[in-house]
Amino acid sequence: MAITITLSPEDTKKLAERAAAAGQDVLVYVQQIVKRDIARPVPQDIDEILAPLREEFARSGISDEELLADINAARDEYRAESRKRTS
């Protein structure tokens, strides 16, 4: 099957750069991207999407409370830095 796509000049340039970095012709590079994408199973629901993250979290040994504290600390730090930039 032949497929034609239209890319902006900027996207065309980026695609050519990535293909060159991979040592491939642009057509071969695009074919590999498409093959890799369609070979991946499509997640069916949010639980399936989050499963790897949940497994990693379980392996980490961190508690829910510790995670929440880390998230809140990062949020507060971000907000403080953001206030400094806008002041």
Can you tell me the distance from the alpha carbon of 2 to that of 11, in angstroms, rounded to the nearest whole number? 20
Entry pTM: 0.50
E-assigned strand segments in 1-87: none
In this structure, are residues 29 and 15 in contact, taking their beta carbons and an 8 Å threshold?
yes
Closest CA to 30 of 2, 58, 65, 69: 2
Residue 41 DSSP symbol: P
Amino acid at 11: D
Q: What is the pLDDT of residues 49-86, one digit of tens each?
A: 899 999 999 999 999 999 999 999 999 999 999 888 88
